[in-house]
């Protein structure tokens, strides 16, 4: 394990010892300091995902235009809601997050970048707490499992589901099935690989599959939680909720990545999965209620 990853894990475990409010304050402060990606770079990375979303919808004869969108996981800035609203012509976007990461300063930066890159002058709603346009609503510190959902035609998540507990995933999709109108669409972009490998390039993207559930829970914290669900487990959750699977796709590792995977002593918990199921990455899913 690299020194950088050791320091990161040690820091998260120290923060885990703090009371929840103080722990999240420390996490938020550190992330703000460490997150050096400027807003233009953030726009470019989200634009890649937005084009992927558009492709998935088009290939299934669907569209964002005129849709009320519910976003799961707001992140640090409303880049995807802006792209969906201004480039995808969505009717509205309601963004939900368990935590609060938005700031007026960051959103003002996004508004300036949108003007410089696209010539779009974002009209901020009067008295908006977050300096957001009228058709974008932000719900921080909110678990959508426990609330009445807004009018929704399309649900979207980007690299969020892998950080949600399996039971909450089941409850969430059961809620979508019962509360959303028939024909509503759900699109998930899922990153199921071991995120520690992005910090330590020597690790396999499946390194965390060597641990039992008890061992893994001791290694991770609430600040870097990853459920480790494999492709068939996601499919089982969607099926159990009674959702129609319209489309699913995923990446397979290249030769070097697969070699790293084969060096990992896979734990018995994952013995019933094939290599393809264990290594499936960048999972994109389109569901229908």
Among 18-22, 140-144, 216-220, the least confident range? 18-22
Among 20-29, 80-89, 124-133, 181-190, the least confident range? 20-29
The pLDDT, as a whole number, for residue 35 is 59
Q: In terms of pTM, does the model score above 0.85?
A: yes
The pLDDT, as a whole number, for residue 34 is 62
- Quick: pLDDT tens for 197-214: 999 999 999 999 999 999
* Average pLDDT of span 83-98: 97
Nearest to 160 by CA among 130, 182, 186, 134: 186
- Quick: pLDDT tens for 162-189: 999 999 999 999 999 999 999 999 999 9
Q: Cα–Cα distance between 4 and 26 in angstroms, integer?
A: 19
The interaxial angle of helices 231-240 and 166-179, nearest 10 deg, is 40
Three-class secondary structure assignment of the chain: CCHHHHHHHHHHHHHHCCCHHHHHHHHHHHHHHHCCCCHHHHHHHHHHHHHHHHHHHHHCCCCCCCCEEEEECCCCCCHHHHHHHHHCCCCEEEEECCCCCCCHHHHHHHHHHHHHHHCCCCCECCCCCCCCECCEEEECCCCHHHCCCCCCCEEEEECCHHHCCHHHHHHHHHHHHHHCCCCCEEEEEECCCCHHHHCCCCCCCCHHHHCCHHHHHHHCCCCCCCCCCCHHHHHHHHHHCCCEEEEEEEECCCHHHHHHHHCCCCCHHHCCCCHHHHHCEEEEEEEEC
Q: Which sequence spans correspond to the domains of the chain? A: 1-36, 38-288
* Alpha carbon distances (Å) from 128 to 19, 123, 125, 182, 271: 31, 11, 5, 33, 52
The pLDDT, as a whole number, for residue 33 is 65
Report phi then psi at 91, rounded to 5: -75, -40
* Average pLDDT of span 245-260: 97
237 vs 223, residue with greater confidence:
237
Q: Cα–Cα distance between 116 and 255 in angstroms, integer?
A: 41
The pLDDT, as a whole number, for residue 5 is 87
268 vs 20, residue with greater confidence:
268
Average pLDDT of the residues of the chain = 94
- Whether domain 38-288 has CATH 3.40.50.150: the reply is yes
The pLDDT, as a whole number, for residue 220 is 93
* Average pLDDT of span 219-237: 95
Percent of the chain at pLDDT > 90 equals 79
Q: Is the dihedral of CA 148, 153, 181, 165 positive or negative?
A: negative
Indicate whether 32 pLDDT > 80.
no
Indicate whether 37 pLDDT > 90.
no
The pLDDT, as a whole number, for residue 36 is 54
* Average pLDDT of span 231-260: 97
Indicate whether 50 pLDDT > 90.
yes
* Alpha carbon distances (Å) from 7 to 13, 14, 59, 198, 200: 10, 11, 44, 14, 12
1 vs 264, residue with greater confidence:
264
Among 10-14, 32-36, 86-90, 206-210, the least confident range? 32-36
């Amino acid at each position: 394990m690299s020194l950088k990853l050791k320091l990161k894990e040690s820091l998260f475990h120290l923060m885990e010892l703090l009371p929840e409010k103080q722990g999240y304050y420390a996490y938020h402060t550190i992330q703000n300091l460490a997150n050096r990606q400027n807003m233009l770079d953030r726009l470019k990375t989200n634009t890649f995902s937005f084009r992927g979303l558009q492709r998935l919808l088009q290939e299934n004869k669907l569209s964002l235009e005129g849709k009320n969108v519910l976003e799961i996981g707001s992140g640090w800035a409303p880049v995807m809601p802006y792209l969906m609203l201004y480039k995808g012509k969505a009717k509205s976007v309601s963004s939900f997050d368990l935590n609060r990461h938005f700031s007026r300063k960051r959103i003002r930066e996004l508004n300036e970048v949108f003007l410089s890159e696209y010539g779009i002058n974002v009209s901020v709603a009067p008295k908006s707490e977050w300096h957001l346009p009228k058709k974008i609503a932000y719900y921080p510190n909110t678990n959508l499992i426990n609330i009445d959902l807004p009018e929704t035609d399309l649900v979207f998540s980007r690299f969020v589901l892998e950080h949600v507990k399996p039971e909450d995933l089941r409850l969430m999709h059961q809620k979508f099935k019962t509360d959303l109108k028939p024909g509503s669409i759900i699109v998930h972009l899922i990153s199921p690989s071991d995120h520690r490998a992005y910090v330590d390039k020597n690790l396999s993207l499946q390194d965390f599959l060597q641990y039992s559930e008890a061992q893994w829970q001791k290694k991770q914290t609430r600040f870097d939680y990853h459920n480790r669900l494999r492709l068939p487990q996601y499919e089982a959750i969607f099926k159990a909720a009674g959702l129609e699977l319209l489309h699913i796709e995923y990446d397979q590792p290249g030769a070097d990545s697969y070699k790293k995977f084969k060096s990992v002593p896979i734990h018995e918990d994952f013995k019933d999965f094939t290599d393809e199921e264990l290594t499936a990455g960048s999972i994109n899913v389109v569901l229908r209620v």
